[in-house]
Amino acid sequence: MSTTETDGEAGAAEARLEVRSHPLCLDHRPHLGHPELPGRVTAVLEALAPPADARWRLIPDSPLPPEGDVLGVLEWVHDGAYIERVRSAAASAKGWLDSEDCAVSAGTFASATAAAGLALQAGLDLVNHRVDRVFVAARPPGHHAERDRARGYCFFNAAALAAEVVVRSWNRPVLIVDFDALHGNGTQQHFWARGDVGYLSVHRYPWFPGTGTADEVGTGDGLGATRNFPIVEGADDEIFCTALERGLEELAGRLRPAALVLSAGFNGHHADPTGGLRLTVAGYRRLTRAVMTAARAFAGGRVLSILEGGFAPVALAEGARAHVEELAEPDRSGSKAGMAVN
């Protein structure tokens, strides 16, 4: 296996958080000037070089499932015809797919499939008790991708796929927590009428993609399983984190999820010009601690975090580092909360 595990020798076996990526995630290369460039993942991986105490394992060449397996399960969240459209667009190096923000290059399909594959493998490893917490540093992002349409730099919805893996394996609810500055319209759409997957989003509104109002709460079996907290441009740590904490209290308490899946966006950082929010490193620490409190209370500490937005490399690296440091913090409460899952 070509995986490089850049952790300390003594701490590697004990680390329960893994940071995973793959070189194929760099092959999607939109035109110069596009915000979603390969340097995003490079900046994150450089920032996440583990400390001497090896609180996490950094695996920049993490093994992927066979491509056929990835494409097969992708049909849980995307139409087969759409998956083939993404493949064809990349093969022809078409300028963009479905909307001009979804720029396409020859490597787009490989990168998007690798991102989905990392999420799939992380979900499988979580349900098979090989890992409790994973941060997937992959691109392109996914939470805007709809069942049959690319949107907002997104092609395949990795977070939705990871949630499906856990739900279908354990027949237990999952809670998706989206703290990207933009609403995850694709994820909400996919689980809109589902009661087994909750979707919580705190995001700037009004703003792209135009969804995510407070009265969007799901329908049918999914009524009440979607919870949106739209916040105004310029909102700071206190506004954002208070909303997230409230949503976690409501939805985690209602669903009692077996795991939490995070759409981890860092475009709300005050130095990122695309998000219009004023979050700081302290804010990303606080929101991650809130997630971990809920995960330990209901899900045995199981968290699968997937990189979404964040388009200012330095700000992205700062936010991701703070997020991973908090994910890696041990539970010092002495609690054994969380239901066991076979």
Structural domain includes residue 335: no
Q: Where are the alpha helices (DSSP H) in the chain?
A: 9-12, 39-47, 67-74, 80-91, 108-127, 158-170, 185-191, 237-255, 281-298, 313-328
Q: Which two tokens stand for residue 281?
A: 């490193």
pLDDT category at 9 given cuts 50, 70, 90 is very low
pLDDT at 6: 38
Structural domain includes residue 10: no
Average pLDDT score over the chain: 93
- Which residue has better confidence, 342 or 326? 326
Percentage of residues in the chain with pLDDT exceeding 70?
92
- Per-residue pLDDT reduced to its tens digit, 127-155: 999 999 999 999 999 999 999 999 999 99
pLDDT category at 2 given cuts 50, 70, 90 is very low
Choosing from 78, 143, 144, 203, the catalytic residue is 144
Q: Structural domain of residue 209, as residue ranges?
A: 15-328
What's the pTM? 0.94
144 is catalytic: yes
- Which residue has better confidence, 336 or 326? 326
- Per-residue pLDDT reduced to its tens digit, 153-203: 999 999 999 999 999 999 999 999 999 999 999 999 999 999 999 999 999
Strands 96-97 and 99-103: antiparallel
For residue 310, pLDDT beyond 70: yes
User: Which among 182, 203, 338 is positioned nearest to 260, based on CA atoms?
Assistant: 338
Contact call for residues 183 and 212 (beta carbons, < 8 A): yes
Q: What is the mean pLDDT of residues 40-47?
A: 97
pLDDT at 8: 35
- The whole-angstrom separation of Cα 288 and Cα 51 is 19
pLDDT at 53: 66
Structural domain includes residue 320: yes
Q: What is the mean pLDDT of residues 94-121?
A: 96
* CA dihedral sign of residues 167, 171, 172, 173: positive
- Per-residue pLDDT reduced to its tens digit, 48-76: 997 766 899 999 999 999 999 999 999 99
For residue 11, pLDDT beyond 70: no
Q: What is the mean pLDDT of residues 220-247?
A: 98
Structural domain includes residue 302: yes
Structural domain includes residue 4: no
Structural domain includes residue 336: no
CATH code of 203's domain: 3.40.800.20
Contact call for residues 149 and 98 (beta carbons, < 8 A): yes
Structural domains counted in the chain: 1
Q: What is the mean pLDDT of residues 297-319?
A: 98
pLDDT at 5: 39
Structural domain includes residue 5: no
Strands 303-307 and 197-204: unpaired
For residue 338, pLDDT beyond 60: no
Chain-centroid distance of CA 299 in Å reads 17
- The whole-angstrom separation of Cα 92 and Cα 84 is 12
Rg of the chain on CA atoms, in Å: 18
Strand partners, 269: 279
Tokens 């093994």 — which residue? 63
Weakest mean pLDDT among 80-84, 93-97, 242-246? 93-97
Write the DSSP string, 95-138: SEESEEEEE--TTHHHHHHHHHHHHHHHHHHHHTTS-SEEEE--
Chain-centroid distance of CA 128 in Å reads 20
**Residue 144: Cβ-neighbour burial (10 angstroms; 0-12, 13-18, 19+):** buried
pLDDT at 14: 40
